[in-house]
A and B are shown apart, each in its own frame.
Chain A
Amino acid sequence: MKQHPLCTDTEHGPTILDLPIAAGLKTEWAALQTRRHFLGRAGKVLGWAAMASLAGDKALRSIGQSAKMAAAPTPEQLRLPHFAPRAKRAIYLFMSGAPPQMDLLDYKPNLAQQYDKDLPESVRGTQQLTGMTAGQARFPIAPSHWDFKQYGNSGTWISDLLPNTAKMVDDLTIIKSMNTDAINHEPAIMLLNTGNMNAGKPCLGSWLSYGLGSMNDNLPTFMVLLSKTNPKENNQPVSSRLWSSGYLSSEYSGVGLRSAGDPVLYLSDPQGVDREVRRKMLDAVNAINHQTYDELGDPETNSRISQYEMAYRMQASVPELTDMSKEPQSTWDLYGAEAKEPGTFAYNCLMARRMAERGVRFTQVYKRGWDVHSDVTKILPVLCQETDRASYALITDLKQRGLLDDTLVIWASEFGRTVYSQGGLSKDNYGRDHHPRCYTSWMAGGGVRPGITYGETDDFSYNVVRDPVPVRDFNATILHCLGIDHNKLTYKFQGLDQKLTGTTPASVVQGLLA
C-alpha cells in the first residue's frame, strides 16, 4: 500500500486500538471504520488511500479483526427460546388497509337504532382525525349493513360476510381491544411490524429468525407472500421496508416469493450453466468473500456468503415447494379453485401451509385492499369472499394435519375503521375512515386460548372499555407463544438495547394464553 506523502510514520504509529481505552469502544470504533472503509471504496481510490494513510496497513487488518469480535451473537449464543415454546412457527395473515371491525367481528347491535345520528362528542373526545374526515360537518353513525349471528360453542357473533370464519370460531382467539398509536397506514403498519413508526427497525419475522434460527437449511427462515391486488379495491402500497431486518444482519430479512411468473427471479440456471458450474462459481466467489471478510471483518460480508448459499439451495427447494401438482383434490375442495392461481390469497394460504410443513419459521401473507373509505357495501363482500374461505381453509388444513398444535396463526391489520361514515351515508352505502383506538384481530393455534373473545369496546366500537391490547402487548404475546421473553430478546444499537416492543413497557397478555 502506498504511503500518503503527508504521513510520515503510519506503520508504527499508535492507533485507537493501541490506546488504553475500553474494549467496547474500540470494537465500536472499528466497526464504524469498516463501514467508512466500504464507503471509501465505493468512492473509488480516494477514500481507500485516505483510509490507508490514516490507519496504515497493519492497523487496517487489526481493525478487521476487532470488527469481527463485534459481530452479532449466533442463535446458539442467544440461548433461545427463553422457555419451552407452545408454537414453533407462525403464519401471519396481514390484512393491509384495515378491515372495518364493526362489519366483521365486533358486533354492535345497538347501532341500528342510531342510524345517521351524530356520534356523541363524548365518545370522540379530543381525538385528532385524519385529513380525510376532519373537515366533515358531521359524523353520522353508519350501522353495519350486514347481520350477525352466533356460532360455535362459544356463541361468538360473526358477520354474515364471514360464513367460513364463523365455522371455526371455537378455534379462534378473538381480540376486540387492539389499539395502536398511528392513524395512517405507513406508520401504523410499521408500528405493528417493527414496534416503531419509523422505518429502519427489524420486523417481527426478522426478530424471530435472528432469535430462533432456521428449522430447514434449504428454505429461508422468514418468507413473505404478497397477494395479487384487485383493481376494484383501494390498495395501499406495501414495501420491503416491512420485512426488513433493520439493524440486524440482512440475512434475517424476509424473502419474498413473487405472485406471478417465477416465484423467485433468476432461480433457474441460465442456459449452458449447469449445477456443477454454478457450484464452482459460487465456491470461487465465496473464497473471495472470505478473503474480504478476513481483511475487513464486516459481518455483512458473511451475510452475503450465506445468502448466495441459500439461493443455491433454494434452486432445488423452491421448485419442490411451489409444485402443487401432488396436492389431492381435497385440498382444492377446501381452499377453493382460486388457490390454483398463483398470487391469490387462497394460493398464498395454501403455500403458507406447505411452508409450515417444510419448517419455515415465519410466513407473512399480505392481503391488501381493505382500505374502504367509500363504497363499503360493494367492496367489502369482495374482500371477504377473497379471504374468508382461505383463512378457514388454512386453519382447518393445519388442524387436520396436526400442525396447528405448534403453529401460531395471526390475522391482524394495522388499525380499524370508524363507526361514522366518511362521505355520504345512505341506507345502502357508506365509507369508513381510519380508526386507531380500537380494532379486532384474531389468533389461533399454538399457545393461545381457543374459543375466547378478549377485550371489549364501547357501544360505538370507538373506544376500548375493557382489557386493552396495545400493539406492543400484542407483539409481546406473539413472542411469548414462540418461547421468547420480549424484554430479553434485544440487540445493542445506537446505545440502546433495542427490542421489538420498543421502550414503552409492554406486557404479555396473559388472558390470551392457553
Chain B
Amino acid sequence: MAVESRSVTAKSNPSTPVVIASLLVTLALLTLPFVFRLDGKPHADWQQFLGRFHPLIVHLPIGLMLLVPILEIVGRRRPSLREAAGFVLTLSLFACIGALILGYLLAYGSGESGPLVALHMWGGIALTIGVIACVAVRPQWASGEAQGIFRTLYLVLLPCVVITLAWTAHEGGSLTHGPNYLTEFIPSPLKRLPLVDTARADTSSAPNSFYTKHIHPILDANCVACHGAGKVKGGLRVDTYAQLMKGGHDGRVIVGGQPEKSILLQRITLPSDHKNFMPAEGKPPLKPLEIAWIRAWIQQGASSSAASLVGIAVPYDAKQASLPPVEDYSSRMAEIAQAASAEGVTMTPVSSNLRDGLILNTIDVASRFGDAQLAKLEKFAPYIVEVELGRTSVTDASFDTLAKFHHLRALHLEGTAITGAGLAKLHALTELTYINLSETKVTTAAISTLSEMKNLKHIYLYDTPAQPIANQAAAQAAATKAP
C-alpha cells in the first residue's frame, strides 16, 4: 500500500516499484476467490460480524469514485480541484480495498453463494483493479509529461471504472433488496422496455395451478431475495417449482403430503426469535393465512398442477376483477358539488380513491327527480359508476341518457314507471354488472335484450310482469345468472 501512495508524487512513467506493487495486489485479488472459495457454507462468526459492515463502508468508495471525474472536469478551470482529484482517487482506492475485504468476509462468513453473489464479487475485484490502475497512471497524465499510451490511458480507464462501479453497486443492491426492487413499481408504459424484465417465467409449474397463483407469489415476495437465482443461501432456491422441490444443503424442504417433514414449513413456523426462523434477518414473518395455504398445499401433495385445494378459500381476487378507473374529476369537484346540491341529490365517492368513481343517489328527492333532472347530470356521466333512481319519476326516456354513463356498474330503477322499452340502449354499458328493475312494468320480452350483456350478472325483476310475485320461487332461481 505504502508503495502506491508514494506513486502519487511520481512525475515520469510509472516507476518499477509501483508497477510491481500494483501487479502483486492485482494478482492477490484475482487469486482470492480460488484460495477461499465461496462454497455456500458459513464460516467463522467474526467474519460475519466484520462482514456486516460491508453495506456501510461500501458507500465510501462509491462516493469518492464518483467525485474523481467531477474534480477532473471542473479542474480544467480550477487547477486546485484537479490536484485534489489525485488525493481523492487514492482515498477511494483504500476505501475500495476495505469494502472489498469486508464484502468478501460477509459472503465467505455467512456462506452466501450464487451467480449474483459471484457477479458482485468479480465486479468488486475488477473495480479495485481498475482503481489501482488509475492511481498508477494518473500522475503521468496529470503532469502533462506522459508519453505514448500514457497520454490517454487514464482518460479511457476512468470512465470504465465508473461504469464498473455503477454496475457492481447495482448488483449489490439487487442482493440486498431482491433483483426486482428497482423495477417492481415501474410505471406500466416503461414495463414494455426490453431492459426491464419483471416477468420471470417458471416453466416447471402449470400456469393456472394453485402453486403458480398463490404459493409462488408468497415465496417470491418473502424468500427469493436470499433463495433465488441471484443469492442462494444454504444452497436453496425457491424461485421455480423445480428448484423448490430440489431442496438445499439440508435436503428436501418440501415433502408432499407431509407438512411435518417439510423443512420450509418448519422454518417459517418457528418462534420468530429462533435462530433458524425464516425469513431471517428481521424480515417480516409470513402471515398466518399464507402459512395456512403453504401447509394445505404441502398436505395435499405439493402439486405443481392442482388448480384448487380442498378447504382452502381463496379470497376475492381484487386484481383480477379490478375495473377500469374513471377519469380524474378532482378539478371538477366544486362543479359536481354545486350541481348535486342544485338538484338535491348526492354524488358521493365510492371510496377515498377518486378513480373508483361516484355514486349518484336521488333518494332525498326521489318524487321530484325525473328524466330532465337526470339529463342535467349527464355531463358528469364519465365519473359515475352507480346510479340509484329507485322510486323516482324517470321513464323509459332516461335510457338515452343512461347509455352515456359508460362506467356504470350498478343501476337501480326499482319502483319506477319504466316499461323496458329502450333497455337495449344499455348495451353500450359494458361494465354494467347489476340492474334492479323490481316493481316496474318490464316484461319478459323487454328484458330479453339484457341476456346479450356479458358482464350483467345480477338482474332483479321482483314483482314485475316478467316475474310476478305469484311464481317467484321459480323465477328466483333465474334472477341471478350463474357466475
By a beta-carbon cutoff of 8 Å, the part of chain A in contact with chain B is: 79-85, 213, 215-218, 328, 330, 357-359, 399-402, 405-406, 449, 452, 483, 510-511, 513-514
Contacts and interface: CB of A to CB of B under 8 A. Distances in A.
A402 B315 contact: no
Nearest to B415: A357
A402 B352 contact: no
B436 interface: yes
Nearest to A212: B348
Contacts of B316: 513-514
A401 B438 contact: yes
Interface string B195-227: 000000000000000000000000000000000
A358 B390 CA distance: 9
Across the A-B interface, give the 7 residue pairs with the lowest CB-CB distance, nearest first: A402-B460, A79-B352, A402-B436, A330-B469, A84-B351, A400-B462, A217-B364
12 contacts: A81-B351, A82-B352, A83-B353, A217-B364, A359-B361, A400-B462, A401-B414, A405-B434, A405-B458, A449-B313, A452-B313, A510-B289
Interface in B330-383: 346, 348, 350-353, 356, 361, 363-364
A193 B364 CA distance: 30
Given A80-B352, A84-B350, A215-B363, 6 more contacts: A84-B356, A216-B363, A359-B363, A400-B460, A401-B436, A406-B410
A402 B472 contact: no
A175 B460 CA distance: 29
B464 to A, nearest CB: 11
Contacts of A483: 351
Contacts of A449: 313, 315
Nearest to A328: B469
B434 A402 contact: yes
Given A216-B363, A217-B364, A511-B313, A402 B353 contact: no
A469 to B, nearest CB: 12
B463 interface: yes
A186 B476 CA distance: 41
Contacts of A452: 313
Contacts of B348: 213
Nearest to A488: B352
A330 B468 CA distance: 11
B438 A81 contact: no
Nearest to A80: B352
| B interface, over-half SS | mixed
Contacts of A217: 364
Contacts of A216: 363-364
Contact of A358 (B351, B352, B363): B363
Nearest to A454: B313
A400 B476 contact: yes
Interface of B: 289, 313, 315-316, 346, 348, 350-353, 356, 361, 363-364, 390, 410, 412, 414, 434, 436, 438, 458, 460, 462-463, 469, 472, 476, 479
B476 A218 contact: no
Contacts of A81: 350-352
A215 B363 CA distance: 8
Nearest to B385: A84
Contacts of A218: 364
Given A84-B356, A400-B476, A328 B463 contact: yes
A406 B350 CA distance: 13
A12 to B, nearest CB: 43
B252 to A, nearest CB: 27
A161 B92 CA distance: 83
Contacts of B469: 328, 330
A449 B313 CA distance: 9
A364 to B, nearest CB: 21
A216 B350 CA distance: 16
B353 A84 contact: yes
Nearest to A449: B313
Contact of A83 (B351, B460, B462, B476): B351
A401 B350 contact: no
A82 B352 CA distance: 5
Nearest to A219: B363
Contacts of A357: 390
Nearest to B357: A84
Nearest to A213: B348
Nearest to A511: B313
A151 B238 CA distance: 43
A218 B434 CA distance: 26
Nearest to B460: A402
A229 B232 CA distance: 68
A215 B361 contact: yes
Contacts of A399: 476
Q: Which of A83, A328, A406 has the most CB of B within 10 A?
A: A83
B14 to A, nearest CB: 65
A52 B217 CA distance: 66
Nearest to B288: A507
A449 B483 CA distance: 14
Contacts of A359: 361, 363
A84 B458 CA distance: 19
Contacts of B412: 402
A510 B317 CA distance: 11
Nearest to B435: A402
B352 A83 contact: yes
Contacts of A400: 438, 460, 462, 472, 476, 479
A358 B361 CA distance: 11
Contacts of A402: 412, 414, 434, 436, 438, 458, 460, 462
Nearest to A406: B410
Q: Which of B316, B346, B352, B361 has the most CB of A within 10 A?
A: B352
A449 B390 CA distance: 27
Nearest to A329: B469
Contacts of A401: 414, 436, 438, 460, 462
Nearest to A452: B313
Nearest to A399: B476
B357 to A, nearest CB: 9
